[in-house]
Chain A
Amino acid sequence: MKNFEERYTAWLDGEMDDREREEFEAALDADSHQEAVEWQRLRGLLREAVQPAPMPHADFVNSQVLASIRREFPAQPESRPARGWLPVRWLAAAGVFLLALAAGLSFLVLPQREIGAPGGRDSVALDTKFGAVAFAAPGGKGTVLWVNDAGYIPANEGLK
């Protein structure tokens, strides 16, 4: 710590040892002592007063970041450590069987949904050339197109 500002900061934050502190305080004038007292008081109020708003819908951050990564780095290999004791081959075979079963059943049991059928709640982005990530709106109703670089217009510039 070389200059007065650094030493004063260390003193205010209680970062000096006893010897340094005594020497420093002896050299300080009364006004500086008074200011330090004031600061300690303001510091307490500052911490109380300046609390950030909670992060809105935090999971959106994850989905948006990961969507951007997948879009910008589509060739990224996703390596996951092998878990479990069943051989991968058996798992794959079981998966294919189940998929085939589901496909067969869906034709028999589930109604076919055509694009634009009444009651559809998708509203999807089909072919985004560039510029945005799409994700479901809250409540599963609708879609958000998050334009990545939508830019900024200063407040003192009118739109019209």
Chain B
Amino acid sequence: MRALALAGLLLVSAAFATRAEGIWTALVLGTNEQPPKPTPKTLAPYAAGLKTVFGTDSFYLLGDKLETIAKGDEEWVVPTKRVNLKLRCLDRSTAAYTLHLELYVGKRLVLSTDARLDKGAPLYIRGPAWGKGRLVFILEVK
């Protein structure tokens, strides 16, 4: 009996272990400054990509979090008064999330899409300009 319970526990643990880990979400402000600001350590893996795509060379991490999201759950990425990205988990599989994304600027919906987020492949979402900078959301399965 004990062996069965242990086996069951191991199986359940294994099941959770092979599930996708959490989704790391971040809100970044990219600007161009003279001289360019040093890149925060957290954003170092993304700086080159951000610079190439968005043309900015200084980055500020306005907020980030890492959490698991269960199927059907909703989450707001670094919620603010002026810009909000909502995620809803449509599915989870090994090392991937399928999400429904909605981006609001004020009350205006500017993006509505489903997306598959694979581990090791970040999703960059171009947000609104803020002053002379650009807000960018980064999502990655970690």
A positions within 8 Å CB-CB of B:
53, 56-57, 60, 115-132, 137-139, 141-147, 149-160
**Interface CB pairs A-B, < 8 A, 18:** A56-B51, A115-B96, A121-B120, A124-B115, A125-B114, A127-B114, A128-B113, A131-B109, A138-B53, A141-B122, A144-B123, A144-B125, A147-B103, A150-B127, A150-B128, A153-B82, A153-B105, A156-B131
Which residue numbers of B lie inside 8 Å of A, CB to CB? Answer: 20, 48-49, 51-53, 55, 62, 80-83, 93-96, 98, 101, 103, 105-106, 108-133, 135, 140
Question: Do residues A159 and B53 form an inter-chain contact, with CB atoms below 8 A?
Answer: no
Cα–Cα distance between A56 and B83 once the two chains are bound (Å): 26
Count of inter-chain pairs, beta carbons less than 8 A = 164
Please indicate the chain B residues that have their CB under 8 angstroms from the CB of A150 in the complex: 103, 105, 110-111, 126-129, 135
Given A118-B95, A126-B115, A152-B121 contact (CB < 8 Å): no
Q: Which residue of A lies closest to B93 (CB)?
A: A116
A146 and B126 form a contact (CB under 8 A): yes
- By the criterion CB–CB under 8 Å, are A137 and B105 in contact? no
Residues of B within 8 A of A154 (CB): 131
Cβ-defined contact, A126 with B132, below 8 A: no
Given A120-B120, A144-B53, A146-B126; 19 other pairs, CB 8 A cutoff: A121-B118, A122-B116, A122-B121, A126-B116, A129-B112, A131-B112, A132-B125, A132-B126, A138-B48, A138-B53, A139-B48, A142-B49, A145-B101, A145-B126, A150-B105, A152-B129, A155-B130, A155-B132, A160-B80
A57 to chain B, nearest CB (A): 5
Could you say which residues of chain A place their CB within 8 Å of the CB of B115? 123-126, 143, 145
Q: Which residues of A contact B118 (CB under 8 A)?
A: 116, 120-123
Give A72 Cβ to nearest chain B Cβ, in Å.
16
* B12, chain A: closest CB distance, angstroms: 20
Main secondary structure on B side of the interface with A: strand
A125 touches B113 (CB 8 A): yes
User: In the complex, A157→B133 CA distance in Å?
Assistant: 13
Chain B residues closer than 8 Å to A120, beta-carbon distance = 95-96, 118-121
Question: Contact between B117 and A153 (Cβ–Cβ < 8 Å)?
Answer: no
Chain A residues lying within 8 Å of B126, measured Cβ to Cβ, are 132, 144-147, 150
Residue of B nearest to A145 (CB): B125
List of A residues within 8 angstroms of B120 by Cβ: 119-121, 141
Complexed CA–CA distance, A145 and B105 (Å): 16
The 5 tightest CB contacts between A and B, nearest first, are A155-B131, A116-B96, A123-B121, A116-B93, A128-B113
